[in-house]
Amino acid sequence: MTRMAASKARQDFSETLNQVAYKGKRILLHRRGKDVAALVPVEDLALIEKIEDRIDLEEAEKILAEMESGRTNPIPWDRVKKELGMKP
């Protein structure tokens, strides 16, 4: 993966974007030596999202199985909303 200062990416934005979009490069952007973001091809993002969806599904299936077996109890929706600061 290429590492690049955010200011350099800003100066050469069109070229940087072309490297990602058309050549499939992954670029890690840093500011003052600290990594702050990454530019990745859309295909990579789609794969990341698919992996996240699979992980979420596996976790949900695990929790449902625990609930069905009686090992855990569901949290009431009103309690969840309250803890998230949502209005009832």
Would you list the domain boundaries of the chain?
A: 2-40, 44-83
> CA-to-CA distance for 7 and 17, rounded, in angstroms?
14
Model confidence over 1-25: pLDDT tens digits? Answer: 999 999 999 999 999 999 999 999 9
Q: What is the CA radius of gyration of the chain?
A: 21
Q: Does domain 2-40 have CATH number 3.10.105.10?
A: no
For the whole model, what pTM was predicted? 0.70
pLDDT of residue 75: 87
Tokens of 34: 């600290």
Q: Which residues of the chain have pLDDT under 50?
A: none
